[in-house]
Chain A
């Protein structure tokens, strides 16, 4: 087991130094830079594509049934644990009842006020507008998220599980870290839950739930960036990151060590560096990094390395998205 506090301190120093150096080299301020797991994995997979996204791609796309799914589900499950857990305790240690996903989500939605912050306010506004279609779509996606989370983690949830990044009236939200006071750079943890308390011994585990699993490369990158973001925000490194996937039912436990933290810290610093580079140049063929992700990239028609990779003989060249060859006419 690593020295959880010392490792977090060393990580914070390394990321601060790297972001300071990147910002000092900027020809103009890059503006606010929020580093979450999406930015970190994007910048790591293809810097050219990440920079080409521009402000629209870097920022939060706004609430929608898809983007609100996890936030609504966590809030609904948190309320269920509060209310049903309290009732179970009052019933002298009775079992915690399994939440009904869509019903739990709907219960939470009914209490959402339009003047609240974050996702609660968004749901409250939809309710006050009578936008039943959006609420039904949001209930579907959040119910699916909640069901997958509970199914994969098991019920009752592991002992000492705490939901994170939960929208409550009293604020809360994602744990964040800034390299310096007033810095334009902030790092947010995307962990959905924590198992165990955060103590100096670093025995807690961060849980990251993905409704759909990506490939193994995504999994290790996500684990690295969440381990680092969690260590920075809590000033204590977690013992492990547990990644769950709703579609496969898999749980992957990635042990946190110095190497993983450094890898995650490097991914965080790389986002800042790329945002500084983007002040002067967006897409640049020089650091386009071809991979299977090119098959889904919006730039694939105009990116020479990506085009060459997709049509080449090596790797998956000539392959279509599903792994089968491209059809040739008779």
Chain B
């Protein structure tokens, strides 16, 4: 008899436990199966891409690459999407990469709780010395940041279940979808992907965030759910966002979630096309202006003040 959950899943462990009864032991491991709804989403996005590519001037050799950041900024403030995202190394960036590495270690080496030192060593082993160099440069002034990092790593470790090998844990799993024969690419790198083909378990997308929860993080998770669905031919079971402030956001992937994500991508393609065709990139000042690298050269951004958003945030 199938058990019925009394309450919705609230943690990654809940999600994995809830998903186990959905194991389909009869499913074949053929790589070409595609769910009908997913095929329709792909067809719709492909139509949008084929219509846009000639105007945008994109080709398979030199495509438009849509990442989660590009999609976000094309919709939130198109001008920001045209800015080099390399804003230098900040404490926030270091927090993000260290917490992310700690979550990966908790997955790969479940017998030991991750620490800041272990996460830094893991990052260096992958060739990423950003965090170590930043902390070394800060010298004794980094003490506060290190304490903060330790708290956040502990918070993520506390939220992390022991993930069995049958879940096929893949960290930094790359996913890419070719649209219009590769003239437009939707790309991403998943923090952690569990299950999905060729296993008989449903896929669970896990995103790790080093900062504080805000609702905009949901869109990133939705986009990754769409990427996995389009790549693997079937929708993942859920997206789980584990945040270092102690928040765990569990989002079951219903058809509407994928549809909304696909509509956002479609809209982003439209915006990118109009910019590539010579239209000026629109500017939508907001709270993001405070951290925007384009602000010095952006009159509306410079004019924006935090008090402008009072009506919205109050």
Contacts and interface: CB of A to CB of B under 8 A. Distances in A.
B64 A143 contact: no
Contacts of B31: 151-154, 249, 251
A323 B232 contact: no
A327 B57 CA distance: 17
Contacts of B298: 329-330
A298 interface: no
A322 B174 contact: no
B174 A140 contact: no
A133 B172 contact: no
B84 interface: yes
Interface in A245-269: 245-251
Interface stretch (A31-39, A94-102, A167-175, A200-208): A94-102
Contacts, number: 146
Interface in A306-330: 315-316, 319-327, 329-330
B29 A319 contact: no
A155 B215 CA distance: 39
A19 B302 CA distance: 62
A147 B62 contact: no
Interface stretch (A8-16, A81-89, A177-185, A209-217): A209-217
A273 B231 CA distance: 41
B177 A248 contact: yes
A213 to B, nearest CB: 6
Interface stretch (B9-17, B123-131, B150-158, B206-214): B123-131
Contacts of B93: none
Given A102-B165, A249-B31, A151 B197 contact: yes
B251 to A, nearest CB: 23
B188 to A, nearest CB: 9
Nearest to B67: A322
A136 B276 contact: no
Interface residues of B, number: 61
B87 to A, nearest CB: 14
Given A154-B29, A247-B231, A133 B125 contact: yes
B177 A322 contact: no
B159 interface: no
Interface string A85-125: 00000000000001011110000000000000000000000
A212 B61 contact: no
Interface stretch (B75-83, B138-146, B238-246, B258-266): B75-83
A153 B175 CA distance: 16
B105 A327 contact: no
Contacts of B105: 136
Contacts of A316: 57, 62
Interface in B70-117: 70, 79, 81-84, 104-105, 108-109
Contact of B29 (A156, A292, A315): A156
B122 interface: yes
Contact of B108 (A136, A246, A326): A136
B169 interface: yes
B198 A132 contact: no
B182 interface: yes
Contact of B82 (A65, A150, A213, A324): A324
B176 A213 contact: yes
A143 B168 CA distance: 9
A18 B108 CA distance: 49
A326 B233 CA distance: 35
Interface string A151-168: 111111000000000000
Contact of B60 (A141, A152, A215, A326): A215
Nearest to B183: A323
B272 A327 contact: no
A25 interface: no
B19 interface: no
Contacts of B176: 212-213, 245, 247-248
A324 B198 contact: no
B284 interface: no
Given A65-B126, A133-B122, A247 B175 contact: yes
Interface in A226-242: none
B182 A322 contact: no
A43 to B, nearest CB: 18
A101 to B, nearest CB: 6
A323 B82 contact: no
Given A136-B105, A151-B197, A249-B232, A100 B168 contact: yes
A24 interface: no
A28 interface: no
B63 interface: yes
B281 interface: yes
Interface string A137-148: 111110110011
A301 interface: no
B233 to A, nearest CB: 8
B118 interface: yes
A325 B126 contact: no
B50 interface: no
Given A65-B126, A140-B172, 19 more contacts: A64-B127, A101-B168, A103-B165, A131-B125, A132-B109, A133-B122, A136-B108, A147-B168, A148-B173, A155-B198, A211-B174, A215-B60, A291-B61, A322-B65, A323-B56, A324-B64, A325-B275, A326-B82, A329-B298
19 contacts: A64-B127, A100-B168, A102-B108, A132-B118, A139-B108, A140-B104, A141-B126, A154-B31, A215-B63, A248-B176, A248-B178, A320-B82, A321-B65, A322-B67, A323-B276, A324-B272, A327-B281, A330-B298, A330-B299
Interface of A: 64-66, 98, 100-103, 131-134, 136-141, 143-144, 147-148, 150-156, 211-213, 215-217, 245-251, 291-292, 315-316, 319-327, 329-330
